[in-house]
A and B are shown apart, each in its own frame.
Chain A
Amino acid sequence: MKKSFTRRDFLKAGGGALAGVYVLGLAGCGGQQGGGGPQGGPPDRREFEGETLSLVLKEGYEIEAIQKYKGDFEQATGTTVEIEVYDEPTARQKFILDSTSKTGAYDITSVSFWHLPEYQRASYLEPLDQWVSKARDPWLDPDAIPETATNVMSVDGELYALPHTVISGMLFYRDDLFQKHGIKAPQTSADVLSAAKVLKEAEPSISPFTGRGAPTFASLGTWLGWTWGYGAALYDDDMCPQATDPKFTQGMSDLMTLMQDYGPEDAASLTFTQAGEKFSGGNAAMMFDTTGFGGIFEDPELSQVAGKVGFSLPKGPAGNPMQWTYLEGLGISAYSDNKELAWLFLQWRMSDETTRKEALELGRFDVPNLNILESDAYAKAAKEKGLSDYTEKLPQSWENITLEHWPFVPEFSRIGDTFMQQVSSAIAGGQTAEEAMKAVQPKLESISKDAGYCK
């Protein structure tokens, strides 16, 4: 008799296959942390001939040098360097997914400082201190890297990434307009406010001020950096939020005024690119942001205000220099199976020879190698581009860097998003800083509690 297919048969077949696959999946998982520590003594550069390094990088001006000059490294070592470039969120995803699966497909990754606590907690990065002390190649000159930079790229005193981008807070202003109306260069937050008032009357078609207002963590630096000038931080030492602290609120209030009353009408949505475009397009007279914009604003190909820009490192009422801290570097994956070679690459990347070419040939004037910054060739090139004013202020801006104003914890992106969403809608909705801070304080408190801080 022919039997027809019953439901039970179907379920049996399905269940069996399912169980089998699940077991397969579980069995396949698990790798180990790769390679041992440094062998001791500077490595022979050609020891790893024939090997391949895999890099996952976040796109940005700092990787141009890597892409352009990697041939130098390949020749010196006889190896191959493979690079994958993605936008920041994707690069982070790729690295985290790879680390989760422990396959060590990537040897080197870009590390944005604000993700460092997260990576470190998960033990995804190789600690670098012992490599610096035991396996230093002549390529690396530790003194050439600004001290504040290595401090930021460390957690609990241990270095985890070699910095190749050091960005600090800077105020850009239209020198031509300031001179035209007899306003002196702003050195303090009060100066900025009074200049804005004057400019609003004098130049009605231009926004006196612009900055980041977009409701994401990428804008957090502007607001926390500005308020640091007032001697206030968003979190205290126990990671308890203090958004309603009077000094903090005062700083927020001043910046809010600048964005609401003296900023462009779409201030609440400005990302750093857009805010930058306001300034470089001649539609804003001042911008508080990062040193990264210096080269861009003075480049006639990219900016319409080249040659008219002034730079200052403003301080707040408490005498603190205003911050806009952003650092980025290269780190080694804990699961890499070729850490010696990866470490060699990190050192090559920040070597004098590479960074010199980066500054002089690629025009990247804020490359964080103090040897280069102090060289004559650099000074000459800066003069030619009209950037001397800017480059002279760079080392000071780096020394100003501190992380005391910053929530250097794994939850930072959630904190940043929550805080900035409140601020952004306050700007758009005409709320006061006091109201916004009152509203965001409980939200920040619950984030801290969930994460186990602020007991």
Chain B
Amino acid sequence: MVERSSELPQAERKSRTPPPKRARWTLGRVLAQAAIVTLIIVALFPFLFMLRVAFSSARDYLSGIGVLSAPITFENFAAVYGATELGLYLLNSLLYSVLTTLIVLVIGSMAGFGLSKARNALVRDNIMFFVLSTRMGPPVVFAVPLFLLLTSLLLIDTRIGMLLVYTFYNLAFAIWLMYGFFGEVPPEVEEAALLDGLSPLSVFSRISLPLVVPGLMATGILVFIFTWNEFFFALVLTRDVAKTFPAMIPQFFGAFRVDWGQMLAASAMGVIPPLVFGLLIRRYLVRGLSLGSVK
């Protein structure tokens, strides 16, 4: 007996729920449809507007609504590439996001697995709480001690230093997610493997891990995005060599005037990778977001 409609294949699902009121445009349905359209506009407008400004000249985007019909120009992009190290910063962002994701997935899945098998609920809960608490404080609180720590280790403005920081930054979240994903693996499969003589480590790597690949992808994409978007640590802990894309945004905010065009051009380029990546594997993204909440 099927429990949930989501377990049915798409075609059958429709027949299980009451048939849609075909072609009956009640006021309620009209409003609902309008709401959908509004939703799409509201969600997309700021981003599209950002692109519009990025492709406009200063005179145009400072003239209010006229910017919507202004001619397209690439001058902002050219200026940003010429005057700043945007390329380097984007590369750094990419480096950190990819590497951190890999590192965190390895360490985090191991920890998530270990914790999900823990017998002693008290210890497990305590460790989980400790892990979770690392995610509770705003980065501002930890910025200065981390700055001093990295300074004493001579890791300020180094890529290794930032990788360390970002690993810690994401680890708690990854562990929490993987803990949940491993919890969904039917224990019989693992028990069977144990009886067959596999060590727990092998069970982990050969049985459990393959079963949670969707979970790994979900966790991975989220870690990637969070790392890419991180701002404050990057601002304080880097200078120029290891700087990331978000950390360069404040420099467009001059005292006399703000260089909106260049800033939004840089922003446009900076948000493309996670957007593309996220939208491509959005199914996993959604899974990752909803895990831990829906059993």
A residues sitting closer than 8 Å to B (CB atoms) are 4-7, 10, 24-29, 58-61, 82, 84-88, 90, 93-94, 97, 101, 103, 105, 272-273, 276, 296
Contacts and interface: CB of A to CB of B under 8 A. Distances in A.
A88 B255 contact: yes
A84 B241 CA distance: 11
Contacts of B120: 4-7
B256 A60 contact: yes
B149 A86 contact: no
A87 B127 contact: no
Contacts of A59: 251, 254-255
B211 to A, nearest CB: 25
Contact of B239 (A10, A24, A84): A84
Given A87-B251, A97-B236, A28 B127 contact: no
B240 A90 contact: no
A276 B152 CA distance: 45
A86 B254 CA distance: 8
Contacts of A101: 147-148, 151, 156
Contacts, number: 70
A105 B239 contact: yes
15 contacts: A5-B118, A7-B120, A10-B123, A26-B152, A59-B254, A84-B239, A86-B250, A87-B251, A90-B235, A97-B236, A101-B147, A101-B151, A103-B151, A273-B256, A296-B256
B45 interface: no
For the residues of A in contact with B, the DSSP-based class is helix
B250 A5 contact: no
B119 interface: yes
Interface in B214-243: 235-236, 239-240
Nearest to B152: A28
B126 interface: yes
A24 B144 CA distance: 17
Contact of B152 (A25, A86, A87): A25
B22 interface: no
A28 to B, nearest CB: 3
B169 to A, nearest CB: 17
Given A59-B255, A88-B255, A105-B239, A24 B123 contact: no
B153 A85 contact: no
A5 B251 contact: no
A27 B147 contact: no
A29 B251 contact: no
A7 B122 contact: yes
Contacts of A6: 120, 123
Interface in B111-131: 118-120, 122-123, 126-127
A60 B118 CA distance: 58
